[in-house]
Chain A
Amino acid sequence: MSGARQVKFYQVGSLAAGNRLLAPALRSGQADPDRSNALTCGHRACQGCGEALGARYVLDAAQRASGGKVIAVNATGCLEVFSTPYPETSWQLPWLHSLFGNAPAVAAGVAAALRAQGRTDVRVIGQGGDGGTVDIGLGCLSGMFERDDDVLYVCYDNEAYMNTGVQRSGATPPAARTATTQTGAPFGQGKSLPLIAMAHGIPYVATATVAGLRDLEAKVHRAMGMRGARYLHVLVPCPLGWGTASHDTVRVARLAERCGLFPVFEAVDGEVTDVTPIRRRIPVEEYLRPQKRYAHLFEPEVRTDVIARLQRAADRNVARFGLAEEEAP
């Protein structure tokens, strides 16, 4: 974890410490007005898009970590579509989009080319949404993992196929309503790609959210300091698909973390090495209620049974990853 975790500033209400309260070394790179901007303004993402935010945070941090020498390979999806209706590309770094299901293999190809050319200074990032990563791209991603290709792959997880109009993916959580799960996605389905990535024994796996900016940046820096296959799974709320207010993206991401449904941790060589403990844990209901995709759990009647099931899932995460806050000394 970054040093930020040790700082307990409660005065900002959200439990997030303001950047200016930190020592300069601990501040977010995004606070620097002279930072590089991998994904510039003018793109066509929706207001409050978590993915645009996440991609910029990740790629800016990766550029800082590598002296600006980053090549990005993008899967088909929202991020690709909203950023490149030519001549209006928003990408300020070399960027390649090939197909929906092959970004990890294309990125591995770029890495192989760089290795053959002896260019160890240039680093490769593969990126995609949850559909491109956990479903259609999983074969290529698993291949990239098991070969330990020198690629940092980043999944921007908004928990459904948002680009095509909010359909269920393998990352859609139970009970969430999508255009293909009108009564809520079934329990007992779906997959955790961070755990699947860990099972490959790759050097680095981490989860993060767009609410924990310094944590996200620190993880990108750590990943960029390593070689081989690395995986970063970033929760990026989607106002359109989740039915949340555009100004609530960061808040909702923080609630996902604080209720325990989205565990934030990192793993080295397949073993969990660090977690972000939850301060002042909240019941899942507080996370579910602001989201229209869960509205059927509250109207016309409160589905306490379903909410309790989701609460148990959150409780299991807290127990499994040890997310309960340490007692104050």
Chain B
Amino acid sequence: MWKQTEGSRAVAETVAHCRPEVIAAYPISPQTHIVEELSRLVRSGTLDPCEYVNVESEFAAMSMCIGASAAGARAYTATASQGLLYMVEALYNASGLGLPVVMTVANRAIGAPINIWNDHSDSMSQRDSGWIQLYARDNQEAADLHPQAFRLAEELSLPVMVCMDGFVLTHAWERIDVPDQERVDAFLPPFEPRQVLDPAEPVSIGAMVGPDAFTEVRYLAHAKQTQALEAIPRVSAEFGEVFGRVSGGLVHPYACEDADTVVVSLGSVCGTVCDVVDEMRERGVRIGALAVTSFRPFPLEEVRAVLGGARRVVVLERAFSVGVGGIVSANVRTALSGIRLDGHTVVAGLGGRAITKASLHRLFDDALAGRLGELTFLDLDTGLVERELARMARTRRSGPSAENILRDVGSNR
């Protein structure tokens, strides 16, 4: 159903059409609109039967989903940032137990310094948690990924995280074809759990596993994600048959066939990158873009197939691994093992800093001219950083860095 709506609302309505039976809700910006809308849908009886539970923390939210899923119910929650980190122990537990929980992550930076705006530090920190991670390029895809997420989760008995950029997507209003009940029902069968707590057939779930079997159980987690590499494109194709549009899948190459330079990115920035690629193509530059939708599992073969023929790859990342550099880049490098090309990691858009077309034009021109290093922080104000480094070198008690830099920014306005 086409409507002018907010990204969060479109996601909430789509999730409701997936008929979750238990929703654990805890507020955190910029995810809150999703659980608010779901609350309305449950209270109004639109979504029935469904238990909507206001929990006391994200740790409890994920724990409640674990219990509900183990009892055979379709379970959903949403979070962001600090909330995702607060539930980390339960995240690993849900995937370790093989429980098909689906969660929306409204991507947001992690403090300190506290920051409510978008980057990918939160979900990237959970790349090894055993969850499938899908990144939405726009709000249509954010909505569409949810029925696909439930399909994948329940088919594979693995939890799935749908990542959508906080504010950039969650709070953006646009025209969206919200997957309606009839078609979601046609696409998403009822949940048939692989394991369930049932007094008629008692099982123990969550037993201690020692060295004799732990490796095998962990390998199985990897094997299931490998199966997801096959399942994700298949489910995306089936979604396309029912809904008549392309959403989801592993990767989305754009103008890559003859490209010397390919820009790899995830999430909402992909659209901006494609616009810049179009403009540079008009100037005759052979540049393309590769959107990675499935970050876990990471589609090594598909990425290699697209990038293998290029001379240069620029990986644009909204998070980084402090002390080494790129996170996505490291995965891209694994995909390109044995292939020699110039690789550049660009950290951009941290804590909500806008990634503008102007900045990207400058950046890609630098890359083409051979002026780009291995690791670049896009639009970094080096003056601010150097002044703080100088203060720290000058005075032992130089004070809190974040506040010093803010004061510096303010005084230079």
Contact = CB atoms under 8 A, between A and B. Distances in A.
Interface of A: 68-71, 73-74, 80-81, 84-86, 89, 91-99, 101-102, 105-118, 122, 139-140, 142-143, 146-147, 149
B256 to A, nearest CB: 44
B203 interface: yes
B197 interface: yes
Interface centre among B21, B53, B63 (most CB of A within 10 A): B63
Contacts of A73: 67
Nearest to B72: A113
Contacts of B50: 116
Main secondary structure of the interface of A (DSSP, over half): mixed
A69 B199 contact: yes
Contacts of A89: 204, 207
A84 B208 contact: yes
25 contacts: A69-B199, A70-B199, A84-B208, A89-B204, A93-B199, A96-B67, A97-B204, A101-B59, A102-B59, A102-B89, A105-B59, A105-B64, A106-B67, A107-B67, A109-B67, A109-B68, A109-B69, A110-B197, A112-B53, A113-B22, A113-B51, A117-B49, A122-B199, A143-B60, A149-B53
Contact of B60 (A71, A84, A102, A118): A102
B90 interface: yes
Nearest to B94: A98
Given A95-B204, A99-B90, A117 B60 contact: no
A109 B204 contact: no
B65 A109 contact: yes
B10 interface: no
A258 B161 CA distance: 54
A113 B64 CA distance: 9
Nearest to B26: A143
A172 to B, nearest CB: 24
Given A71-B71, A106-B64, A142-B56, A116 B49 contact: yes
A109 B64 contact: yes
A115 B65 CA distance: 14
Contacts of A99: 63, 89-90, 93
Nearest to A115: B51
A94 B206 contact: no
Contact of A105 (B67, B72, B97): B67
Given A81-B208, A106-B70, A110-B67, 17 more contacts: A69-B199, A80-B208, A85-B208, A86-B207, A94-B199, A95-B202, A96-B70, A102-B59, A105-B67, A106-B67, A107-B67, A108-B67, A110-B197, A112-B68, A116-B49, A139-B56, A147-B55
B197 A96 contact: yes
Nearest to A86: B207
Contact of A143 (B55, B97, B202, B206): B55
B205 A140 contact: no
Nearest to B99: A98
Contacts of B160: none
Contacts of B208: 80-81, 84-86
A196 B56 CA distance: 17
Interface of B: 21-22, 24, 49-51, 53-57, 59-60, 63-73, 75, 89-90, 93, 97, 197-199, 201-210, 213
Nearest to B199: A69
B49 A139 contact: no
A120 to B, nearest CB: 13
A115 B71 CA distance: 11
Contact of B90 (A94, A96, A98, A113): A98
B66 A106 contact: yes
Contacts of B97: 98
Closest CB pairs A-B (n = 6): A109-B67, A97-B206, A113-B73, A143-B56, A113-B71, A105-B63
A141 to B, nearest CB: 10
A301 B338 CA distance: 75
B90 A112 contact: no
Nearest to A92: B202
A110 B203 CA distance: 14
Nearest to A102: B63
Contacts of B206: 74, 80, 84, 95-98
Contacts of B51: 112-113, 115-116
A110 B68 contact: yes
Contact of A140 (B53, B63, B93, B197): B63
Contacts of A91: 202, 204
A94 B49 contact: no
Interface centre among B64, B66, B208, B213 (most CB of A within 10 A): B64
Contacts of B65: 109
Nearest to A114: B71
A109 B197 contact: no
A147 to B, nearest CB: 7
Contacts of A115: 51
Contacts of A69: 199
A325 to B, nearest CB: 42
Given A86-B207, A98-B206, A140 B66 contact: no
Contacts of A80: 206, 208
A74 B197 CA distance: 13
B90 A102 contact: yes
A70 B55 CA distance: 24
Contacts of B205: 95-97
Contact of B54 (A68, A122, A147): A147
B68 A140 contact: no
Nearest to A109: B67
B153 to A, nearest CB: 16
Nearest to A84: B207
Contacts of A117: 21, 49, 71-73
A112 B72 CA distance: 11
B105 to A, nearest CB: 20
A115 B64 CA distance: 13
Contacts of A118: 49
Nearest to B71: A113
A194 B67 CA distance: 25
B64 A94 contact: no
A261 to B, nearest CB: 32
